[in-house]
Amino acid sequence: MNMKIAFIGGGNMGEAMLLAVLDKGLASREAICVSDVNQARRELIQQRYGVATTDSNRQAVHGADVVVLAIKPQNLADVMAELNGQLKPRQLVLSIIAGARLATLCAGLDHGAVVRVMPNTPAQIGEGMSVWTAASEVAPGQKEQVASILGAMGREVFVDDEKYIDMATAVSGSGPAYVFLFMESLVEAAVHIGLPRDMAREMVMQTVIGSARFAGKSGKPLAELRKMVTSPGGTTAEALLRLEKGDFSGLVKQAVIAAHDKARKLGGSGD
Ligand SMILES: NC(=O)c1ccc[n+]([C@@H]2O[C@H](COP(=O)([O-])OP(=O)(O)OC[C@H]3O[C@@H](n4cnc5c(N)ncnc54)[C@H](OP(=O)(O)O)[C@@H]3O)[C@@H](O)[C@H]2O)c1
């Protein structure tokens, strides 16, 4: 597969996708163009990956099979105005912009073939979780292209209803931040009881990585895996009791509901 891909915005997520695409051989260097208003960013991308760069979004999309929108939400209106009328019907637009709905993108670009993706930051090391949906005009072959691009950054899941994108935003999109906060808290607690910081960090890191891999490989319900660690009257039971008293599960639920509400409001479908 050698697609021609234009990246509008070569920041963190744009670069992660660019790297994955090159790494998996989905597009050659010559078939990629990155457009960014930031000169330092253009120089860095060109130096690191040897792909063409430009400060003209219109020039970048010319002849591309896939146009990736990887700019911040606040820059979307300008970019849509710039690209409106510039896209051919066969070109696919893939947006990773948080909160930008398919209807907004299709209307703003005057274009039908649009895909909306909610990726997450572990995509930067090929361990991402991308949840995506497509407008009705997206062809089956284009969906395959999307699956291969997103699959290069980790796992991808297609959903046929856009409401799941707002839910994914609250779970997998924001999820790494919840995990990092938990990890930070565990490191601080470990230091508090007397462990040297670097030792604490290593223990926490491997515990989280190992537990996630174990859960994935064993396929057992999470509650069963938790019970395996929890001997009656033991140390883990004591710790879990404290977490329960502090309503840990209820708090996580409230946090996810709050993130979901916010995602719906940002996208214009909240109350
Ligand atoms: N990071 C995440 O965890 C994550 C997860 C899911 C989705 N997303 C979405 O991914 C998108 C990109 O995020 P990011 O973290 O990669 O942002 P970023 O690092 O700020 O990258 C955006 C790049 O686009 C440039 N830019 C600004 N206006 C432009 C324009 N009119 N034309 C072309 N380029 C322009 C920016 O330059 P300046 O810096 O000079 O403005 C910057 O280099 C966001 O919409 C975000 O919602 C991010």
Tell whether the model's pLDDT for residue 270 goes beyond 60. Answer: no
Please give the full DSSP string across 218-246, using - where no structure is assigned.
Answer: H---HHHHHHHH--TTSHHHHHHHHHHHT
Per-residue pLDDT tens for 192-248? 999 999 999 999 999 999 999 999 999 999 999 999 999 999 999 999 999 999 999
Pocket test for ligand 1, best of 7, 37, 53, 95 (most atoms within 8 A of CB): 37
Query: In DSSP terms, which residues pair with 129 in a beta bridge?
Result: 155
Tell whether the model's pLDDT for residue 1 goes beyond 90. Answer: no
pLDDT for res 151: 97
Task: Give the side-chain half-sphere CA count within 13 A for 107.
Answer: 6
DSSP 111: -
Tell whether the model's pLDDT for residue 67 goes beyond 80. Answer: yes
Residue bearing the CA closest to ligand 1, atom 24 = 9
Q: Which two tokens stand for residue 124?
A: 């930067």
pLDDT for res 17: 95
Residues with CB under 6 A from ligand 1: 8-14, 35-38, 41, 57, 70-73, 75, 78-79, 96-98, 118-121, 173
CA-closest candidate to residue 111, choices 151, 140, 139, 83: 83
Helix (H) or strand (E) holding 89: none
CB atoms within 10 A of CB 222: 9
**% the chain with pLDDT above 70:** 98
Per-residue pLDDT tens for 110-155? 999 999 999 999 999 999 999 999 999 999 999 999 999 999 999 9
pLDDT for res 269: 62
Domains in the chain, start-ordered, CATH in brackets? Answer: 5-163 (3.40.50.720), 175-266 (1.10.3730.10)
Tell whether the model's pLDDT for residue 271 goes beyond 50. Answer: no
Please write down the long-range contacts of 49-55, taking CB distance under 8 Å and 24 or more positions apart: 49/18, 49/19, 49/22, 51/18, 51/22, 53/10
pLDDT band at 2 (very low <50, low <70, confident <90, very high): confident
CA of 15 to the centre of ligand 1 (A): 10
Instruction: Phi first, then psi: give them for residue 87, nearest 5 degrees.
Output: -95, 140
Atom of ligand 1 nearest to the CA of 99: 47
